[in-house]
Structures are given as C-alpha cells and as structure tokens.
C-alpha cells in the first residue's frame, strides 16, 4: 500500500491502543459466572489441593489456575483485579502476534489490519474479560506460532519452542492441536526437520505424563465426563455457521440463548467483502514468491487442522468437544490471512474501498453495541440477592439447582458459618440445567431431598418466569404448612431470581 512505513507504524500503534482499551470496556459491568467462580475457587486453594481439585474436573490442565493463584496473592480478589488477569495476557499477545507477522515478512499495513480484526472481534473481547484460561491459551499459541515460524525459516529456537509448547498444552488440551499443526507444516513444507519436531513431541509427551496420571487417578473416583461436556452439541451446519460469524463479528458476541446468534446486517456484508477480496487475491495466486506461498500454506494449516480435528473428534467421540472458545487458537492466523487478502489485492484502489467499507461496518457495530448497554444475566442474581442477607443472623438457604448452590456459596463464603447452603433434589416440576454441577471434591453444600427441608425459619433461592405460589418449590412448602414471605427479586429478560424467607 502507498502510505509510508512510518505512517503504518503509527496506525499500528493506534490500533494496539484501541485493542487494549476495548479489553477494559465494561470490564466489571457483569458478575463472575459459574466457570469463573470455579477458576477463582481453585486458584484460592493451596497448591496441592488446587491440583487435586482441577484434576477431578477432568477437562482442563492446571497452568492457568496456578498462575491465577500468584495473581491473587499479589492483588487480591476484587472483580477488577481478577478480570485484569485475562486482559493482561490478551494485551500481551500483541507482542508475539507482531513478531509472528514480521517473521512471515509482512509489512506494517498488513500487521495493522490484522491487529484491527483481532482488536474488534466480539468473541475475543468477551474471552479477554473472562477469568478463564483462554487469553493465556491464545498468548502461548501465538508465541508458539512465532517460534515455529523462526524454526521453519531459520532452523532456530527449537528448544525454546519446546518449552513454550509445554506451557501451551498445560494451559488447554487443544494446545496439542497447535503442536499437531506445526508437525504437519514441517511434513508439508520442510520434511528434513521432522526429526527435531518428533524429539520435541517426545519431550512434550513425557512432560505431560504426570498430569495425565493425575487425571487418570481422579477419574477412578468419578469418570463421568458427560457431566462436563455431555451438553455440547455435535457441530452441525447451524453451529458451524455460528462459528463462522464468531470469527469475524465485530464487538458483538452471543452470551445467552435469548440473544441473537449474530448481528447479521453487520456480519454478512463483512463476510462478503472478505470473500470477495479472497477470490480476487487467489486469482493472482501464482504471482506470489515461493516464500510467500510457503507462509500462506503455513497459515492455512494453522487454521484448518485444528478446526477439522475438532470437527472430526466431535463426531466420532462419545461426546462433542466443539467450542468457539477452544478454537481461539485459529483467530490470529485467520486474521493474518484475511489481512493479506485485503492488503495485497490489485488494483490498489480496491484495497481502500474494501477497508473503508469494513471500517464503516465496524463503526456501526460499535455504535450498536455501545447503545445496547450491558445486558443483565440470570447468573448474576445469586450474588446480588445474597447481598440482601443480614450477615450477622445465621440462616439456612435451600436451593434447587447446582448452579445456584455453587454461586450462592461463593457469594457467602466469607460469612463464615452463618449460612448453610442446602441443595434439594427430586422436587417434581423443577427443571435443572445439567450443564452445571457442583464440582467434584467440593463438600461445602449439603445435599438432601424434599423431606429434608425443615426448620422454623429459612430462605429459599430459585428462578422462575414469575413468582407464583402455584409453582414449585413454593407449592410444596405451602402444602407443608409454611408461610411464604415477600420475595427479593432480581429481574432479567425471560427469567427472574428470587430469594424468599420461609417461616412456620
């Protein structure tokens, strides 16, 4: 593109500032949700108990929990500080991203457009603010891709790459798909280096063996993986379409099933512009140099192999492992590839037309999201309702779903022994979201059935569309002779959370 490198460097710096600023946008506007609570809970334990607790969960390696433990030791457990943990690694990922792009011999215009796509992506903004492992996962994946590109081009840094890949697979199991992609790229592009890659693979397997043993040992107690991921649907056309929109959707991300999948009037035009640019670029594919073609092939492997592996695994395994958050590793190479399409097409005026139109849609998407405000979600009900309790008066709180029990326990965990959370099972007419369950190895919530509800005074917490004494669990309590107090209500679209005092 005709603008000088100095101007494009300035644009890149401005985009990076926007990238960071967007990660702080509404950072503390919403509460911690179930998975974040689990993360903070695990990180708050001592090292040995934390490892045992995470191993019993079966589905994630421990590195992010360990790092969060030190993070909490430094700054405590305020909502801002906890959310700053993923934001920090999200912003830090810009460093390996730029190094990776430079290793691919991309100019600053392409790097700036790449950073713009990643800065505005709604899915990445969402997971950059979630107290989970996904920002850390993306950071290590980008460091790995950068070091692998150096090894591919120069034959350097294989031992550093090995160390980073150990950290990568200890952050998320899908890190193995990055390793597999790199091995595949070596086979396709420079088979002479396969021996070094296989040595790296052997070291990774040996390094990961202790964690595999820990998970295997935990699974002897409870191996019901269906509790964790049995709710994940196998990827069909609708789910794949949603993933496609997630890859390019600016500023918006569907966080609840009551929200639309995508802002189609924004995402579809952007996708059409990108597909058009890709088509124009590929028509002139043969004009690329051998090195440029090799780099494009590398990017395609880093994108396609994890997606295909997750897709195939989800259909042949007993449970689906598909998830946009698991495939966060493909967002950066896809953004790079898309930026190449948009900044290398000819004639050159098309570049400015395409980028100008995309910026217009980005501006519209930002305006829509800013005007939308911060949605209120039902999982924030229990923290807010718990705040209404008198912490000096001991009380028993009966709940009817695991997710409410865990959230309520977390909200009141600093109140000492004043509150006992009891989960009631088996009340006819009450449904429970099986995607959430009390963590294995967690014994702070007592379990009972409807016959175990007793006492002269206690509270119940539940959710329903409306407060109706003909509905469960109120109907059951009235039949037992209890008086129903005035509910404290937390309202969200479609559902309401209720905290009610019950007396004889």
DSSP-assigned states of every residue in 1-37: --S-HHHHHHHHHHHHHHHHHHHTTTTTSS---HHHH
CATH 3.40.50 fits 378-503, yes or no: yes
What is the domain partition of the chain in residue ranges? 5-219+226-372, 378-503
- pLDDT tens per residue across span 147-156: 999 999 999 8
Element holding 460 (H helix, E strand): strand 457-464
**Looking up tokens 């600016």, which residue turns up?**
250
pLDDT of residue 1: 55
Q: Are strands 457-464 and 496-503 parallel, antiparallel or unpaired?
A: antiparallel
Bridge partners of 483, per DSSP, are 503
- pLDDT tens per residue across span 398-434: 999 999 999 999 999 987 778 999 999 988 888 788 8
pLDDT of residue 99: 98
pLDDT of residue 494: 82
Buried-state track 99-127, b at ≥16 Cβ within 10 A, e below 16:
bbbebbebebbbbbbbbbbbbbbbbbbbb
pLDDT of residue 428: 82
Q: Output the CA–CA distances (angstroms, integers) from residue 68 to 19, 34, 91, 133, 341, in the order listed.
A: 23, 17, 17, 9, 38
Q: What is the pTM of this model?
A: 0.95
Q: What is the pLDDT along the chain (504 residues), one digit of tens a residue?
A: 567 788 999 999 999 999 999 999 999 999 999 999 999 999 999 999 999 999 999 999 999 999 999 999 999 999 999 999 999 999 999 999 999 999 999 999 999 999 999 999 999 999 999 999 999 999 999 999 999 999 999 998 899 999 999 999 999 999 999 999 999 999 999 999 999 999 999 999 999 999 999 999 998 887 788 888 888 899 999 999 999 999 999 999 988 777 888 999 999 999 999 999 999 999 887 777 888 899 999 999 999 999 999 999 999 999 999 999 999 999 999 999 999 999 999 888 899 999 999 999 999 999 999 998 788 889 999 999 999 998 888 899 999 999 999 999 999 998 777 899 999 998 888 878 888 899 998 999 999 998 899 999 999 999 999 999 999 999 999 999 999 999 999 999 889 999 999 998
Q: Which of 189, 196, 209, 206 is nearest to 159 (CA)?
A: 196
Q: Are strands 457-464 and 483-484 parallel, antiparallel or unpaired?
A: unpaired
pLDDT of residue 433: 82
What span, in angstroms and rounded, lies between the C-alpha atoms of 379 and 377?
6
* Residue 395 three-state SS: strand
């Amino acid at each position: 593109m005709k603008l000088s490198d100095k101007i494009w460097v300035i644009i890149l710096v401005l985009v990076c500032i926007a990238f960071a600023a967007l990660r702080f946008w509404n950072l503390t506007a919403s509460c911690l949700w179930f998975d974040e609570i689990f993360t903070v809970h695990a990180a708050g334990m001592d090292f040995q108990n934390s490892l045992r607790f995470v191993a019993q969960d079966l589905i994630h390696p421990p590195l992010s929990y360990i790092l969060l433990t030190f993070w909490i030791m430094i700054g405590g457990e305020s909502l801002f500080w906890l959310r700053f943990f993923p934001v920090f690694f999200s912003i830090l990922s810009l460093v390996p991203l730029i190094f990776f792009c430079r290793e691919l011999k991309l100019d600053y215009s392409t790097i700036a457009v790449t950073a713009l796509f990643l800065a505005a992506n709604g899915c990445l903004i969402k997971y950059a603010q979630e107290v989970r492992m996904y920002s850390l996962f993306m950071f290590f994946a980008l460091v790995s891709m950068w070091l692998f590109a150096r090894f591919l081009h120069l034959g350097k840094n294989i031992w550093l790459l090995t160390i980073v890949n150990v950290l990568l697979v200890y952050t998320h199991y899908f890190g193995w798909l990055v390793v597999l992609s790199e091995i595949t790229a070596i086979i396709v592009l420079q088979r002479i280096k396969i021996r070094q890659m296989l040595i790296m693979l052997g070291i990774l397997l040996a390094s990961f063996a202790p964690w595999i043993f820990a998970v295997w040992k935990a699974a002897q107690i409870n191996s019901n993986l269906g509790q964790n991921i049995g709710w994940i649907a196998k990827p069909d056309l609708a789910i794949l379409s949603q993933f496609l929109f997630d890859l390019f959707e600016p500023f918006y991300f569907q966080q609840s099933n009551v929200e639309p999948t995508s802002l189609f009037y924004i995402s579809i035009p952007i996708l059409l512009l990108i597909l058009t640019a890709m088509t124009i670029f590929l028509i002139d594919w043969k004009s690329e140099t051998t090195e440029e073609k090799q780099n494009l092939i590398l990017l395609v492997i880093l994108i396609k192999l994890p997606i295909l592996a997750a897709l195939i695994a989800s259909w042949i395994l007993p449970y689906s492992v598909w998830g946009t958050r698991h495939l966060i590793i493909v967002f950066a190479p896809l953004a790079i590839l898309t930026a190449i399409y948009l900044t290398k097409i000819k004639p050159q005026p098309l570049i400015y037309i395409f980028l100008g139109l995309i910026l217009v849609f980005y501006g519209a998407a930002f305006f829509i999201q800013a005007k939308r405000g911060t949605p209120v979600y039902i999982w924030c009900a229990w923290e807010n309702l718990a705040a209404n309790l008198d912490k000096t008066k001991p009380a028993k709180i009966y709940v009817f779903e695991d997710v409410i029990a865990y959230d309520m326990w977390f909200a009141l965990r600093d109140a000492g022994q004043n509150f006992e959370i009891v989960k009631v099972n088996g009340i006819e007419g009450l449904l429970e979201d099986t995607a959430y369950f009390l963590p294995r190895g967690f014994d702070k919530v007592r379990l009972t059935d409807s016959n175990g509800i007793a006492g002269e005074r206690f509270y119940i917490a539940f959710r329903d569309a409306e407060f109706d004494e003909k509905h469960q669990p109120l109907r059951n309590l009235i039949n037992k002779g209890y008086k129903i107090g005035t509910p404290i209500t937390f309202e969200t679209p479609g559902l309401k959370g209720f905290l009610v005092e019950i007396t004889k």
